[in-house]
Structure 1
Amino acid sequence: MTLTVGVIGGGQLARMMIPAATHLGIDLRVFAENDGSPSAIAATQVGDYVDADQVLRFTREAAVDVITFDHEHVPQAVLSALVEAGVAVRPGPNALLYAQDKLLMRARLSELGLPVPEWAAVSTEAELDAFIEAHGGVAIVKTPRGGYDGKGVRVVRRGREANDWFEAPGIGALLAEELVEFRRELAQSVARRPSGDIVAWPVVESVQQNGVCAEVIAPAPNSAGRIADVAEQIAVTVAEGLDVTGVLAVELFETTDDRLLINELAMRPHNTGHWSIEGSTTSQFEQHLRAVLDLPLGATGTRDAWTVMVNVLGGPVGGGLDSRYAKAMAEHPTVKFHSYGKDSRPGRKVGHVSVGGSDLDDAMYQARAAAEILTE
């Protein structure tokens, strides 16, 4: 009997699950937000993921064995309705709660004794001013819900710089964090089955531009030994402590005083894991499907000494990647290309490229040059 996975959300993550599902003989069904979504090829229903009736109808009509997600924004009420209807939801509502609310996430990670930046919940300008004064005159402020790719994040030196957020309806308390001095950003991905089995990929280095992931190097240079061991242990502890099923990505700061601090969590395949499609024995997308179906997990070793992934950000307004593929492919035949089926606009993540090899400098050059052609 063919297993069926339902995915809520029609973005590029759902799109990249399609080849993995095809190879495994899994029937993938997608509940997309609109007709033109990146995963339209597999979308079986278009609707509103905040409407429990629509989502429940999708699960019945698609006859899913399990529901998983392209994003973490499905409301708790909808998740609870699915569970009450007997639908297997992975990751479950109790885990996703911590991916949806940064204040709850920081509190739970602190309870688990995991390393996080110094933080506080602040509800007024005065409270934020006090936090700023106690942390060297500057702080990072985040909205607890809805922020991603640099949205909902500010560097502030006066509490009044966040007054519009304090006054906005529905936001409530904000998350204030110390401004961490770090050498680089790392990301550690793991996958966990409901039975508890867990595997980890190598820790990777990520480079951000304007709050958006721009490049990933796998494995992270100079990470063998203590850094790799600590990063993996942190991610495993998060996955077990929050009861995550499926892929979990933990974004980390490597500080100037040689610590690793947790920055963000994602309970789904993540941009920093796209390198694994070509670069690992088992991609994060195949592994996520295996994990949520409670199937044996695949090996996570690397295929090459280095894999470099570069996001394609922007390009001519309203254009796609097709018109520029021929030139990029001709000049960089070792590069693998992934289009998300999106129209271009400045800063928009419309695809990625990746390349593996034994020479990191050459792999980096090939990936960057191919991505540059695609944004001309």
Structure 2
Amino acid sequence: MTFPVVGMVGGGQLARMTHEAGIPLGLKFKLLSDTPQDSAAQVVSEVVIGDYRDLDTLRAFAQGCDVITFDHEHVPTEHLRALEADGIPVRPGPDALVHAQDKGVMRARLLEIGAPCPRHRIVSDPADAAAFAEEVGGFPVILKTVRGGYDGKGVWVVRSEADAADPFRAGVPVLAEEKVDFVRELAANIVRSPHGQAVAYPVVESIQVDGVCDTVIAPAPELDEELAGEAQQLALRIAAELGVVGHLAVELFETRGPDGKPGILVNELAMRPHNSGHWTMDGAITSQFANHVRAVLDLPLGDPRPRAPWTVMCNVLGGDYPDMYQAYLHCMARDPQLKIHMYGKDVKPGRKVGHVNTYGDDLADVRERARHAADYLRGTITE
């Protein structure tokens, strides 16, 4: 029996780290990448350079693969259906993945299954957006293009009808959502296999800066135990209802009702390894990447429990200091327990080029160590 070949569409850092998780298992990876310089293309031995939007390219790439999975959600749904018709296992499949590709489809399905969501509807023009704002108590509201957005792109906070023109220029449907007065952002990460086995990681707090994930704290500090369980159960139910295979991240708003009772609302879904799960590489018994690989191959899933009371992940963003390698000496000497994960990307201001993980018994100490390392690598501090 030969070891299976996992076909990964997309050459970013998620593919790079998924490949890393498969190495101890002896798995073979085949990568469809945009360029030879992409993060994963630098480390995977079998790389096909091509356009994932071209069906013939996808079909040729899929030959010899035992399963196809992704590091992004942008492959056209009809192409995935064609691969399935060719007998190629696609995980997650197109019927599930469309809910991460199209925010309008996602919202409609979540309402159908009774998942708590912000008030929302598809709007046709700025005047319709203004009408929606009236329906939910006035501006500001959130406008999102239904496809293609990520890391704050394709999302606008609109404060008047005059502000609402930009989202409609892309020529794709626009989803309007109420602007939620939330306490903080949470994420519930789960992994589900084809035969229905599923595991849930601790619910984490996700701190955003300028629409980009900056820091993740695992588990979310001072989170009501009942609410944490509710968030995990919600993520597991969504995965089962939508038929997700692999990793699912459910991004959540934590809210407070008029009576002070905590609650949650679903913000976004991602059906792939996710930034809010990067802490698991060093902080969990089995990482999100290892469990994603296990799931798409229908192997038994690994233990998601944390290794330490606290783990903190900080993203390393590009700044004006391009030679981050020179900063390793200071960071590693200052904190021998620090885990640095770099993506092989050119350093550009604001670009995610890596992340750091720290862990331990004292949350304040763990946070400070992660924040210091991320800032030193970026060059925003020098000591």
Q: TM-score range by the shorter chain?
A: over 0.9
Give the 3-state SS of the residue equivalent to 2:364 in structure 1: helix
1:118 aligned residue:
119
- Which stretch of the first structure deviates more once superposed, 130-139 or 81-90? 130-139
Instruction: Describe how 1:188-227 pairs up with structure 2 within 5 A.
Output: 188-223=188-223, 225-227=225-227
1:99 aligned residue:
100
Instruction: Describe how 1:1-376 pairs up with structure 2 within 5 A.
Output: 1-40=2-41, 41-42=43-44, 43-60=46-63, 63-137=64-138, 138-169=140-171, 171=172, 173-223=173-223, 225-257=225-257, 258-316=262-320, 319-376=322-379
Give the 3-state SS of the residue equivalent to 1:370 in structure 2: helix
Letter of the 1:261 counterpart: L
Shift of 1:126: 1.9
Task: Give yes or no for contact 1:52–1:77 (8 Å, CA) kept in 2.
Answer: no
Task: Give yes or no for contact 2:143–2:155 (8 Å, CA) kept in 1.
Answer: yes
Shift of 1:167: 4.1
* In structure 2, distance between residues paired with 1:189 and 1:164: 33
Task: Give yes or no for contact 2:144–2:167 (8 Å, CA) kept in 1.
Answer: no
Task: Give yes or no for contact 2:52–2:75 (8 Å, CA) kept in 1.
Answer: yes
Task: Give yes or no for contact 1:186–1:203 (8 Å, CA) kept in 2.
Answer: yes
Task: Give yes or no for contact 2:156–2:167 (8 Å, CA) kept in 1.
Answer: no
What is the TM-score when the length of structure 2 is the normalising length?
0.95
Letter of the 1:192 counterpart: R
* In structure 1, distance between residues paired with 2:250 and 2:346: 29
Give the 3-state SS of the residue equivalent to 1:223 in structure 2: coil
**Structure-2 change in CA distance of 1:320 and 1:13 (3 Å):** farther
Shift of 1:160: 3.1
Give the 3-state SS of the residue equivalent to 2:165 in structure 1: helix
Q: Which residues of structure 1 form unaligned runs of 5+?
A: none
Task: Give yes or no for contact 2:186–2:254 (8 Å, CA) kept in 1.
Answer: yes
Task: Give yes or no for contact 2:154–2:167 (8 Å, CA) kept in 1.
Answer: no
* In structure 2, distance between residues paired with 1:193 and 1:129: 43
Shift of 1:313: 1.2
The total of aligned residue pairs comes to 371
Letter of the 2:127 counterpart: A
* In structure 2, distance between residues paired with 1:113 and 1:77: 28
* In structure 2, distance between residues paired with 1:151 and 1:167: 14
Q: Deviations over 1:179-207 (max 9, x none)?
A: 10111100000000111111100000010
**Structure-2 change in CA distance of 1:151 and 1:265 (3 Å):** same
Task: Give yes or no for contact 2:252–2:265 (8 Å, CA) kept in 1.
Answer: yes
CA RMSD of aligned residues (A): 1.2
* In structure 2, distance between residues paired with 1:35 and 1:365: 36
Task: Give yes or no for contact 2:143–2:167 (8 Å, CA) kept in 1.
Answer: no
* In structure 2, distance between residues paired with 1:316 and 1:125: 38
